[in-house]
Each structure stands twice: as structure tokens, then as C-alpha cells.
Structure 1
């Protein structure tokens, strides 16, 4: 999981609720920007806090940024029905979020969020100025990650969220344990397990929809990742970018979460891409 350095938004942003036609969503919103507006979708087990380190540099670059908790993620509540988290349902949520903040918007999704963003664009690309897929691959995750997700889903089916958290943190390395805190635990406990099971399953069976996405024109596309990634191998992301005709950015020193590993460099690359669409 991404480990944001803080759960407190910077002075340029406000923690808020975004009312939409499909319910309210928790957001961090920088509120203003003269160059445009962006909607940021977090990954599996993640939340809007994963983008906190990007908010100030993207705001300084001239963009209003809205980072959102999807339904069932952290501070956005969701039902206990796995069907409510079908990818098509989550994609409709994204379209409603974009409408609520005011289209057109730049859309960015990290990992699972990238595949949800892709699904939203394939439903209706009209609200979007551009699409950035951050550490988000063409199809299902790597086999080792599929196994981890299966183990987690099996545990969630028979154990409470608190017991699963204890089991996960017991396996952390000393370095990871040092970054664990009450905020991370609280985020985990507020995730709806039905959301985790349903979206985890999606990550293990997602088909390759790159050709469909490539056919969505004109929509500028950007594939950004760290220089190492154990969820989707970097050469696979390279090939996806080529198939999409997308800009390709590799963030040195970053792994699966460049947004938290190298936020300043990541924000600069994102803003440069957005600037080119203005």
C-alpha cells in the first residue's frame, strides 16, 4: 500500500465533501487554478491522502486538483454489497465526480485508479481533457500480486478488518513498520471489505483494453511510472504507452508509488503534460 508522509492536507487544499448525482465523496480540493482542473483517483487499499505530496506543486503550477476517495474507500462510505463495486459502477462514479467539480478535467488514476479511469473514459470521454495512467498496466496484475490479493481476499472473507491489519503489519519489514501509524490503521479500518474484495478481484482478471483506449481520439494520454514496479513490469508499461501513442514518463528512484516516492519530480512531469494540452 502507498504510505503517504502525512494525512493532513497542505494549506493550499481543503478536506471536503463532494456532492454528486451518485452520492457524496470525500476529497482534498485545492479549490482554484487558472490553468484547469484535475481529478485524481487512488489505487487499491489507497485513498486521497496518497496524493497529498502532489497538491502543493500542482497548485503552484496553476491547477485546481481534486483527490477523491472512491466509494467504499476510507472516508467515502459504501454498501456491503460487492456488486456495488463493479468496475462499471465505479466508472459511473468518476463521471459524476467530474460533472460535480466542473468539466472538462484532466483525469489521473494510480494503479487500480488508472483502470477505473480507463473504464470511465471508455464510457464517456467527453468530460476529459487528458488521461494519465500512473503505475497502472494494460490488464491483470503480475502473478505474484494476484497471489497476494487472493490471500488478502480470503482473509477478509473470514476475519475482521482489525485482525487482518494485525496480520499484515506483522509481516512488515522494519523500515515499513517505522512508517506505520494510527492514520494508516484508521484508513484501513474504514475501507469497506466488500470494496477490497471486489476491486481486488478486478485487478486479477482485468482484460487488456489498450486497443479500445487507443481508439478514443482525440484524447491525449500519458503513462507515468517509477523505474521499478512489481505490480506491472516496467517493460509492459513501456509497451502499453507505445500502443496508446502516449507520452511516457519514468520517474527515477521511484517504484509503484511515484506520487509518494518522488512527489516533486512526479508533479513536475504531470504538470508539464497538462500544460501541453492547454
Structure 2
């Protein structure tokens, strides 16, 4: 889970509803400063939300990109059904395709953080023509590390048995272990994190957790995606094993970024550096595929 350090909206940012052919989604929509180079669609991770990208929106928009961060169905401020079937991988992927179409800017750069990377990969496979490039940020392919599998199983089990408020308190206790004195979250962030947990559908949390635990390796699928591909993560990534991410980048020929000093959420801890890496990749992708031509990778 990413935890924003501030909830302040960057300049030129609107919180709004994106109306698509598959329903409405809550988004943060940031207009570029000056001329527009393109549009990027950002998908958050497990137990996360669009606010995970708040620190990244400003630097990306300053570089000339329209940036739209979205809550997926049943996630935080986006409505979602209660039924389990609604949160299968293909359904979530088709939502993303519909979101890209509703933005009205043609093919968009797609980025998925953590669990969002699994959804982004499926969306790019389902409709590659909707996207100009694909970035997996702190995300597989491959299985999540064993401590994270244990954590996801525990959360899914608790949600099936306990009121969400009790699950929230237990999650906060687990998150607090190992924190240094003075590093506790500010009260407004704690309030936000609780509200996000309370608003997110249990079916979404259970479905996303199931996909994290049982998602296929995905390397062959990713290799077949006919888009410029970028695999990025922090040097201290702990949800996916770093060697498996490096091997995936080498196997697929992806553009490869390692953010030194960052953990699972470079979007929060190192937004300026990450923005520079992302825009450099996007500009390269645009030079190689200026009209969305899907003939290969840079």
C-alpha cells in the first residue's frame, strides 16, 4: 500500500467523475503546463487509490503531460458491485480500456503500480491499440514475495470473518511495527487511510488479493504485448523479488529503471526522479511510435 504524504491537490488538478461505457470512475485529472506531449493513465495498487499518485501529478504535468489517476471499480471513491465476479481480471482490464477511450486523447501512456500493474498488463493485452506504452511500476510478472503472500492471505481471511473496522485497526497495528519514533502518519493521513479502507468494497479487496496470489507468471503474455514496455521499481522493493523484476526486464527487452533509495512506492518517496525517468521513456516511445504504431519496442 502507498501512503501519500500530503493530500493537497497539485496545481491544475481536478477531482472529478470520469464517465465511461462501463460506468463512472473517480479520478484526479491534471492538465499539463504549457504544450501537451500526451496523456498518461495511472492505476493504483492493492488497498490503494488515486491519491497514491498525488506527488507525481505535478512533476509529470510540468513536463507537458495530462495525467489522470483513477480509482478502479469498488476502490475508494469509485462505485463497484458486491459480487465476486465483477472483480475478475478481464473485467478490470476492460474498465481500463473504457477509461482510456473516455479521456478522448487517443492512445494513452498506461502505468500500473503494484496490483495496478497486473490490471494494466491485462488491459494492454486486451486492447493494445488503446495505449501508447505500458509501464509496470513495482509490479510483476512473477509471484509476490512470501511475506506479502502471507499478508494478503491474512487480510482476505480477516475480511471474511471480521467487521472492516476491526480489520482496519489490525492493519494499522501491523503497519506501525518497525516505525521509528517521529515517523507516525499525520492525523489527516490516518483519517484518509481509514476512510479509504471503509469505502473500498470488500469484494474488491478480496478479488484483488486473489489475483495477486494466483496471477499466472505472465512473462510470456508481457513479452507478446506489442507496446513500448517499461519496468520500473525501487532498489529496495520488497513486494516483488528484485531479481525476478530484473530478469523480466531483460527477458522482455523492456526499458529498465531502478530508483536508488526507493522501496515499493517511488511514486511517493521519489516523485521528481521517477517523473524524469517516466517522461524520458514516454518521449522515447513517442519518437519510435509517433502515431501509436504497434510494430515493436524501443
Displacement of 1:230: 1.5
Q: 1:159 aligns with which of 162, 173, 176?
A: 162
Q: Deviations over 1:138-196 (max 9, x none)?
A: 12211221111111001000112211111111231344643552111111111111100
CA contact (8 A) 2:17 2:24 kept: yes
**SS of residue in 2 equivalent to 1:133:** strand
**SS of residue in 2 equivalent to 1:276:** helix
1: CA distance, partners of 2:159 / 2:92: 21
Counterpart check, 1:107 vs 2:110: yes
TM-score normalised to structure 1 length: 0.96
CA contact (8 A) 2:43 2:112 kept: yes
The more displaced of 153-162 and 166-175 is: 166-175
1: CA distance, partners of 2:205 / 2:160: 10
The more displaced of 136-145 and 187-196 is: 136-145
1: CA distance, partners of 2:84 / 2:62: 39
2: CA distance, partners of 1:216 / 1:201: 24
**SS of residue in 2 equivalent to 1:140:** coil
- Report the counterpart of residue 215 of structure 2 in structure 1: 206
- Report the counterpart of residue 255 of structure 1 in structure 2: 263
CA contact (8 A) 1:134 1:223 kept: yes
**SS of residue in 2 equivalent to 1:230:** coil
- Report the counterpart of residue 196 of structure 2 in structure 1: 187
Displacement of 1:80: 1.0
2: CA distance, partners of 1:8 / 1:194: 29
Alignment gaps of 5+ in structure 1 = none
- Report the counterpart of residue 291 of structure 2 in structure 1: none
**SS of residue in 1 equivalent to 2:168:** helix
Alignment gaps of 5+ in structure 2 = 287-298
- Report the counterpart of residue 232 of structure 2 in structure 1: 224
CA contact (8 A) 1:14 1:28 kept: yes
- Report the counterpart of residue 147 of structure 2 in structure 1: 144
**SS of residue in 1 equivalent to 2:248:** helix
Counterparts of 1:95-134 in structure 2, within 5 Å, are: 95-102=97-104, 103-134=106-137
Aligned length: 277
Counterpart check, 1:276 vs 2:279: no
Counterpart check, 1:30 vs 2:30: yes
CA contact (8 A) 1:12 1:55 kept: no
Q: Deviations over 1:75-122 (max 9, x none)?
A: 001111111000110000000000000221000000000010000111
CA contact (8 A) 2:47 2:197 kept: yes
Q: Structure 1 runs of 4+ off > 4 angstroms? A: none
